[in-house]
Amino acid sequence: MNSPPSSGAASSAAAVGGVFTHPLLEPNPNGSNTLKAFGNIFIAIVGAGVLGLPYIFMKAGWLTSLILIFSVASLSYRCMMLLILTRRHLQNNNPNNTNLNSFGDLGFAICGSSGRFAVDIMIVLTQSSFCIGYLIFISNTLKSTNYIWGLFPFQLGLNAIPSLTHLAPLSIFADLVQIIAMTDVIVNDVMVLSNGVNLPIENAIGGLSTFVYGLGVAMYSFEGAAMALPLEFEMKDKRKFSKVLAITIGLVSLLYGLFGIMSYFAFGAETRDIITTNMGNGITSIMIRLGLCVNLFFTLPLMMNPVYEVLERRFWNGEYCLWIRFLLVMLICLAASYIPNFSDFLSFVGSSICCVLGFVLPALFHYLAFKDEMDWRGALADATIVVLGITVCITGTWSSLSRSFS
């Protein structure tokens, strides 16, 4: 664990808008280097949500979808950095704040036990839901829930790894698989487009209900706020984190946009909610599906790390607990076995839980930490994100539930 920076050595928050200059953070010699940090951030963001992006382009319109992707990407970067800046501010102003290594710690430092409890619930629900979605996709792709339990022993082993740094080699491998799979899908799209299909260019903008649906899925696809603090903490040179984060999110948004628009233009009105189901049953299609399954398989333990941090802190005094991890893996597998509809589940999670955790809480905590120093522009920026997040959460959840029960 790093020693807290002294107030004399660290930079302080600027008065206007709570803008924060880089403090003199001590490097962590045992942490992740820049490449490993890039791999962890990339895999923390890219997951099963990418498979539903072409469907957004069909439902919400390709132009609307592109705007949504880049807007949510920018807002996600902003909110993740709000968490980092809030932690640095609290540590610089109070040398006793040395244990702000998680989202829950930050909530406790700002709002007490209620802040930690709110964050803990949202993290457990969000990260667990992601992992359930991963297993649902794997079982649907392999045509049987029996594969969930066949992979169960291997997940026990991966989830027993205690440190994100130790998971970095797996994350980099999974990144490569993800990129290869997405590249193969795009190549297949190009082959389909080269046959002279009619591009659905006229479907540029959809209706309001599909806009809300698309916004929810985009938020699901970019959710990674819970990983921001532990990933920055694990990095050797924390001063480079904001740049690495910006580059990674920018690259992800470009990949998402290309992946979505190419796949939609290739299949048009026939685009399905999981794009791999459009690929047929050839050898290439099978390899793509297996590649995505491998990626999600190795992503699962990384995404479960914040859940372990929460429950081990609450029930095991913050110490590593193997049986809690094993129990959670079993519960995740059980839930995935009884939730068959992948797209509805993805839409609901993105429209509700991800919105609160990824946008509302970071902006709220930043405002509470900087309210005595920021001007009205900074306060308005944070308030806008909070109000927007709550509005999207209410409308998106209602829309998702209405579709599920209609």
Q: What are the tens digits of pLDDT across the range 182-202? A: 777 788 778 877 776 666 776
- Per-domain boundaries in the chain: 34-405
For residue 322, give the amino acid letter: L
What is the architecture of the domain spanning 34-405? Up-down Bundle (1.20)
Reply yes or no on whether the pLDDT at 11 is more than 50.
no
DSSP state, 271? -
Alpha carbon 35 to chain centroid, angstroms = 19
Handedness of CA 222, 303, 169, 22 (dihedral sign): positive
In this structure, the number of other CB atoms found within 10 A of the CB of residue 312 comes to 17
Going by pLDDT thresholds of 50, 70 and 90, the confidence category of residue 385 is very high
Q: Quick one: 146 exposed, middle or buried, by C-beta within 10 A (0-12, 13-18, 19+)?
A: exposed
**Mean per-residue pLDDT, 158-184:** 71
3-state secondary structure of 235: strand
DSSP state, 339? -
What is the dihedral angle through the alpha carbons of 285, 289, 294, 298, rounded to the nearest 10 degrees? 140
The reported pLDDT for the residue numbered 166 is 65
Q: Give CA–CA dist 284/189, Å, rounded.
A: 12
Highest mean pLDDT among 35-39, 223-227, 321-325: 321-325
Share of the chain above pLDDT 90, in %: 18
18-51 per-position pLDDT tens digit: 333 333 344 455 556 778 878 778 877 876 678 7
